[in-house]
Structure formats: C-alpha cells, structure tokens
Amino acid sequence: MSKIKDGLTTTNYNFPQQTNFYKGKVRDVYSIGSDYLVMIASDRISAFDHVLPRGIPFKGQVLNQVATMFLKATEHIVPNWLIDVPHPNVSVGYRCEPIRIEMVIRGYLTGHAWRVYKSGKRTLCGVDLPDGMQENEQFPSPIITPSTKPDEGHDEDASKEELLAMRLTNIETYKKLELITQQLFAKGTEMAAKRGLILVDTKYEFGMKDGEIMLMDEIHTPDSSRYFYADGYDQRQKNKEAQPQLSKEFVRQWLIENGFQGKEGQQIPKITDEYQKVVSQRYIELFERLTGDIFFKEESDDLIRNIEEKTVQSLKNNSLI
C-alpha cells in the first residue's frame, strides 16, 4: 500500500482512546482522549482552498520532517504542541484551544500581497505599503498581515483592529502573537540564509494551553512558506526577472496558467503523471536544500499498517494512553 500511485491520500484509523477524527485539507487529525492529537501529514495537496484531485507522493513526509526541524529549533522562542514523531508522516502532540487567527508575516512583496499591490491598492490588512515597489522586492521591514481562521470556509484578510472587533483575541494576547511571529520569522530567516535561501513569507497558527500561548501545526514548510534562492536574487531583481521559488507558489501559478483560481465554475486542470513527479521532486528538493540532509523515501511494505503500529507504540511510550 506504500506505493499507491498518488501517495498517502486517505487514512481511517481507530487508535486506542480515540475520541474524534477531523480530515483537514492535507492532514488527518485524530483526537486521543481530551488532551492529545495524532496528526498525519497526507500527500494531499491544496491550493486556492481546494484539494486537488491527485496526491503528491512523499509530500506529507517532507512537510512533517521540515516542520519537526523548525519546531525543535524554535522551542526556546515559544512552546509548541509537539511531543513525538513516531513516523515520518506522523506527529503526536498536545491539544490546544485554537486562536482563530492566522499570523501571516511577509518580508517581500510577492504572491497574494503582490496581486493586491498590482491591483492598485496600497493597504493590506491595515498595513500601508510603500509606493514604487516591484514584484519580489524586500519590504523595509517585515509586515504582519493576519487573516481569520474559521473552522469552515475561506480565510479572510483582516487588520488588527478588525480581529479585535471580532473578539477573536484580546489586545494583550495579540501583541504577544505579533512579537512571537517576528521572532519566529527572524529565526527562520537566519536558518534559511545558512542554506542559501531567503525566507520570503510564512504563516503561523497558535493556540492556548493552560493559559499560555502555544505554537501549533507546521512551520516554515513549503506549504506554509515561500523561499527564494539567495544566489542571484539582486541581479534578477535588477533585471526585473522572475525569482525561482522553493514553495507551493509554482503549483498556484500552474493552476492560474491553466485557468483555475478556485472561483465558481472553474475546473481544476488534470494533473498528469509527469507533472505529479515534477511537484514531488520540488518538495524533495526543498527538504534537502533546507535541511542539508539526504531525503529518504518512506516506502514500507505496508505504509498504512506501519503508521498505525508506530503511532500506537508512541502513545504507549509517552504514557498518552
């Protein structure tokens, strides 16, 4: 079952003391009792708030292992939810009460921010943007452009004032989130620079546990972040050339070029075997470039059973069941 053509796209476990199951866009989340979660990074891929019809082999493994590296490297900045990683696709951790805000931080004018800027707007999430900038140009200092994080539906851009008016958090907590976001971005930027990369923008999700802020989910992965190559960046900007990226943005661009932006009536283009291999290799490339490690593909004889056995053992070893 490990060599399924589209990778690991579906799980259906019944772990000991399991109390709930939630299928996200790309992750399957199992509640263990009332205090713990098992999060399985599938090979599903989403863009424009739609899950694409085919998975990308090894994508989940890449996301989980990259996130693990950064969670461990930033736990001195803010506590995080992670307890154990029993399998390359699996993380076990604490359940938190989510703060329904996605803390997006941008160091460069690209992606969604560029699309807004190009339309003529000079304010994003209450942040004023300088005139005269070109695509992929660095901001004078990173800007925080948060969005709402509803249980269902689309994330929506929002200013700090709008978020507070919606009572999604209070001013004291929001100020702490801003500071933590800046510190995490600075650490991610430093780590990326050592690997010849530029951390362009990213997003963080937080929750509360025992009255304290806790970092949740993944961080600094190609699904949640964008990276440029540092080598040649200045010259490409000077020549007004495109900046090659290690991120999911190339998938979004491919979708746009093929007539899909998630709007009503649009059809998701067919993902060919060839393009599937290209996307998989891009994810593996980011893993190796970002970590400096060789990527070892997890290809057990029975991936589904292997995940279950290792996860159950982890829950027992950590006295979570």
- List the domains of the chain with CATH numbers: 97-247 (3.30.470.20)
Half-sphere exposure of 107 (CA within 13 A, CB side): 18
C-alpha–C-alpha distance, residues 131 and 307, integer Å:
51
Higher model confidence: residue 171 or residue 150? 171
Q: How high is the mean pLDDT of the chain?
A: 93
Q: How many CB atoms lie within 10 A of CB 53?
A: 13
Residues β-bridged to residue 215: 80, 206
Q: Tell me: the pLDDT tens digits for 227-240?
A: 999 999 999 999 99
Q: Tell me: the pLDDT tens digits for 132-167?
A: 999 999 999 999 999 998 766 667 899 999 999 999
**Region 27-53 average pLDDT:** 95
Contacts of 303 (CB under 8 A, 6+ apart): 1, 2, 4, 8
Tokens matching residue 49: 């708030």
Q: How many CB atoms lie within 10 A of CB 218?
A: 26
Amino acid sitting at position 130: P
Say yes or no to pLDDT of 1 above 60: no
pLDDT reported for residue 153: 61
Amino acid sitting at position 38: V
